Amino acid sequence: MPTMNLTGWIERDGVRLSPADVERMLKDGPEALAPCGGEFLLTYGDCIARDALGIVPGPVPPGTVCSGGREIARVAPDPAPCTLEEAIVTAVGLRSDEGAVAFSGGVDSALVAHLARLPCVAVGLQGSHDLERAEKAARMMGLDLAIVTPTEDEVAEALARVVRVIPDPTNPLEASIATTLSFVAAWAEENGHTRILAGQGADELFGGYARYLTSPDLAAELERDFADLARQRTRDQVVAALHGAYFSMPYLDVRVVRAAQAIPAAERVRGGVRKHPLREVAKRHIPAEIATAEKKAMQYGSGIWRAMQRLARDNGYKKSVQGYLTEISRAEHDY
């Protein structure tokens, strides 16, 4: 019988499968993985399979079952329909047996943190908006919160690491997000966690960006932004991999995606309220003050973006963070 190696976890119809369950299923052939959800890379003899979103890195494309070097099936979980609230509760529950939560105090991460009841970590320079908000929210919700407060020198060191691996290293927005996430992943590594639950995808699914309030075609813009999440996942996971971790994304669970996309765009951004459906669910689980509050994007609220601007100026790039990143990238890639 071939040897099975499984990184991550597999579920079917909302039930986590043990390694023994998976091995029994594979006796019917590796195609049996096709309806399975989870976040995994599995090898079984000459078979390699990877989860639908490609959360766990591997040598085959996301959502493929390959045998003998050729694709023999697609991983496409098809769970039973459910409400948005049921979808979120299930998605977080499936991911909550171990790990930590990337926490900013905003509705996305607060709802995940409440449901998961795992250790939380917040990142921000001393006195930053996100730290103040995260600490207040954690007190209100009774969460176990660790605080990471990098110095500007540590931001510079982290930048040098992330520009080596992210797909677009000279893009200031990409680099600032990746740098912020790198501190989360570093904390996870230091504290023995490989899985980091995060709120990625909520803005694109539910309409969280300020520009959605004035969008001339909200439905089309949401669709475009959702399609871009695959690129963002690649960025986030290569940063996490530097620290032997990965970002787990409950809002991108197929149940949540289906339930969210079934809601008309005009209901997702409603009456000037962004992420209206998510906030309505959140108010049934977390304090309304947290569920309804707006927040800055992580790179701004954490102070990382401002630190990057200061580093650029200090290195002779008074008006161009991109120029500073180009210099770092050239040095890191030796060209």
- Give all strands (DSSP E) within the chain, no chain letters: 4-12, 15-17, 37-44, 47-50, 64-67, 70-74, 100-102, 120-123, 145-148, 195-197, 246-248
pLDDT over threshold 80, residue 17: yes
Let me know if 309 is exposed, middle or buried by CB neighbors in 10 A (0-12, 13-18, 19+).
middle
Residue 83: per-residue pLDDT: 97
Per-residue pLDDT of 226-237, as tens digits, reads 999 999 999 999
Partners of residue 169 on adjacent β-strands: none
Partners of residue 214 on adjacent β-strands: none
Euclidean distance between CA atoms 68 and 23, whole angstroms: 19
Q: Which CATH class is domain 84-300?
A: alpha beta
Nearest 5°: the CA angle 244, 151, 184 is 25
Q: What is the largest CA-CA distance in the chain?
A: 63
Per-residue pLDDT of 256-291, as tens digits, reads 999 999 999 999 999 999 999 999 999 999 999 999
User: What residue type is 25 in one-letter code?
Assistant: M
Per-residue pLDDT of 21-66, as tens digits, reads 999 999 889 999 999 999 999 999 999 999 999 998 899 999 999 9
Torsion of CA 253, 256, 258, 260, to 10 degrees: -140
Query: In which band, very low, low, confident or very high, does the pLDDT at 301 lie, cut at 50, 70 and 90?
Result: confident
Residue 334: per-residue pLDDT: 60
pLDDT over threshold 60, residue 335: no
Q: Name the pTM for this structure.
A: 0.93
- Name the token pair of 284: 């049934």
Domains of the chain by residue range: 4-74, 84-300
In whole numbers, what is the pLDDT of the chain averaged over residues? Answer: 93
User: What residue type is 287 in one-letter code?
Assistant: P
Q: Which long-range contacts (CB under 8 A, 24 or more apart) does 163-169 make?
A: 163/325, 163/328, 163/329, 163/332, 164/332, 164/333, 165/238, 165/239, 165/241, 165/242, 166/235, 166/238, 166/239, 167/231, 167/234, 167/235, 167/238, 168/235, 169/325, 169/328, 169/329, 169/332
Residue 26: per-residue pLDDT: 92
Phi, psi of 91 (to 5 degrees): -60, -45
Query: In which band, very low, low, confident or very high, does the pLDDT at 162 lie, cut at 50, 70 and 90?
Result: very high
pLDDT over threshold 90, residue 170: no
Per-residue pLDDT of 81-101, as tens digits, reads 999 999 999 999 999 999 999
Query: In which band, very low, low, confident or very high, does the pLDDT at 323 lie, cut at 50, 70 and 90?
Result: confident
Compute the radius of gyration of the chain from its Cα atoms: 20
Euclidean distance between CA atoms 293 and 156, whole angstroms: 31
Per-residue pLDDT of 172-228, as tens digits, reads 899 999 999 999 999 999 999 999 999 999 999 999 999 999 999 999 999 999 999
pLDDT over threshold 80, residue 67: yes
Partners of residue 65 on adjacent β-strands: 49, 73
Q: Average of pLDDT values for 96-108?
A: 95
User: What residue type is 288 in one-letter code?
Assistant: A
CB atoms within 10 A of CB 220: 11
CB 227 within 8 A of CB 170: no
Q: Average of pLDDT values for 136-164?
A: 95
